[in-house]
Chains A and B, each alone.
Chain A
Amino acid sequence: DGGITQSPKYLFRKEGQNVTLSCEQNLNHDAMYWYRQDPGQGLRLIYYSQIVNDFQKGDIAEGYSVSREKKESFPLTVTSAQKNPTAFYLCASRRGGGAHEQFFGPGTRLTVL
């Protein structure tokens, strides 16, 4: 079955540690996205990648980093510079071209202890 997987489902981090959230898709989609969701808020864009080896900052990129070495994979690293990292993180992909729908993974809940 085609889809988007995110791991882990729950992640706990101590302050000062970097952590990496995984996002993999087998939909052969060109574009991939990372969003952050906080209680009572909509989704806010962290980073975006349109093609392999290219990515762009979204609205709240500070304290985050990404890579796109393979079409299928778009990992997100939450660095110690992110002041308030506890949130729900959602990865999405879009086929590209004239397709505008984004399809989402199941999300990762990150908690900083």
Chain B
Amino acid sequence: AQTVTQSQPEMSVQEAETVTLSCTYDTSESDYYLFWYKQPPSRQMILVIRQEAYKQQNATENRFSVNFQKAAKSFSLKISDSQLGDAAMYFCAYRSEFQGGSEKLVFGKGTKLTVNP
């Protein structure tokens, strides 16, 4: 079974600085999808960025980018020019197939990011 590990329960960053959140996963599949979700205090889960494993190029969405290292099974999220609104829980997720072609997301336990003014 696939597992997702986020080794940093909490992180903090100064406003306008850059921070990197770590995620590792375990899988025997060669083609898969990875996601980062953000959960602010409102608790609404918001998709931040996605990465297809077959793509060598790292995904980027504005100030958010990933460092995808397929051989190392690592998928870190970099937030540049951090803003107060970036403060949230961040979850790494792996798209897993199960039960006859259905699919689900397997989530890590999350990293709480604090942004200091």
Give min CB distance, B89 to chain A, whole Å. Answer: 10
Whole-angstrom CA separation of A44 from B4 in the bound complex: 12
Identify B105's interface contact among A41, A56, A102, CB under 8 A: A102
Scan residues 59-113 of chain A and give those whose CB is less than 8 A from a CB of chain B: 88, 90, 92, 94, 100-104, 106-107
**A interface, CB within 8 angstroms of B:** 33, 40-45, 48, 50, 56, 58, 88, 90, 92, 94, 100-104, 106-107
Residue of B nearest to A58 (CB): B104
In the complex, chain B residues whose CB is within 8 Å of the CB of A58: 104
Given A50-B102, A101-B47, 20 more contacts at CB 8 Å? Answer: A33-B104, A41-B110, A42-B4, A42-B108, A42-B110, A43-B45, A43-B91, A43-B107, A45-B104, A45-B105, A48-B102, A56-B99, A88-B43, A90-B45, A100-B50, A100-B95, A100-B103, A104-B37, A106-B43, A107-B44
Q: Which A residues touch B107, using CB under 8 A?
A: 42-44
Bound Cα distance A97, B9 (Å): 34
Q: Which of A41, A43, A88, A100 contacts B33 (CB 8 A)?
A: A100
* CA gap between A58 and B105 in the complex, in Å: 11
Residue of B nearest to A109 (CB): B43
> Interface residues, chain B, CB within 8 Å of chain A?
4, 9, 33, 35, 37, 42-47, 50, 91, 95, 99, 102-105, 107-110
Report A-chain residues with C-beta under 8 Å of the C-beta of B109.
40-42
* Interchain nearest-CB distance for A64 vs B (Å): 15
Closest residue to B1 on the A side, CB-wise?
Answer: A59
A103 in complex: contacting residue of B9, B47, B102, B108, CB < 8 Å: B47
Task: Flag if B102 contacts A56 (CB, 8 Å).
Answer: yes
Contact of B44 among A40, A44, A104 (CB under 8 A): A104
- B19 CB to closest chain A CB (Å) equals 20
Q: Give the Cβ gap from B111 to chain A, nearest Cβ, in Å.
A: 11
> B103 to chain A: which residues have CB within 8 Å?
94, 100
Q: With CB as the reference atom, state the residue of chain B lying closest to A41.
A: B109
Residues in B neighbouring A92, C-beta threshold 8 A: 45
Which listed residue (B42, B50, B104) contacts A101, Cβ 8 A? Answer: B50
